[in-house]
Amino acid sequence: MANGVAVTIGEKERNLKYPVMALIKLKKDFGIQLSDLQDEEKAQDMEVILAIIYVGLIHEDRDLQFEELGYMIDIADLPYIADKLTEAFKGVKAKN
């Protein structure tokens, strides 16, 4: 996944990518670890989903703001984005 997974958000093609720093940011800024996603309630929480998308995109747009991203994504886009997240995390095992 060197180049990430292409995803269109806000009428722009972007690349979801999860280097180690993205996962650190997810934990540090949002209090979320990958193992938390095994909890069905957390895995369906909109703020958690948005945080995961956000940290996967900031590698290519450091000025992207969390709230700004939230306004770019329509609820109707979530199934498409969920498929892209699944592709991005394929083969990754959550560990404590």
**Both tokens assigned to 25:** 């940011």
Residue 90: pLDDT band by 50, 70, 90 thresholds?
A: confident
pTM: 0.87
Return the domain boundaries, the chain: 5-88
Q: How would DSSP label each residue in the chain?
A: -TT-EEEEETTEEEEE---HHHHHHHHHHH---GGGGGSHHHHT-HHHHHHHHHHHHTTT-TT--HHHHHHH--GGGHHHHHHHHHHHTTT-----
pLDDT of residue 92: 60
Q: Which residues of 1-10 are buried (b: 16+ CB within 10 A; e: fewer)?
A: eeebbebebe
What mean pLDDT is predicted for residues 7-27?
A: 93
pLDDT of residue 41: 83
Residue 1: pLDDT band by 50, 70, 90 thresholds?
A: very low
- Do residues 55 and 39 lie in contact, with contact meaning Cβ atoms separated by under 8 Å? no
pLDDT tens by residue, 27-81:
999 999 888 878 888 878 999 999 999 999 999 999 999 999 999 999 999 999 9
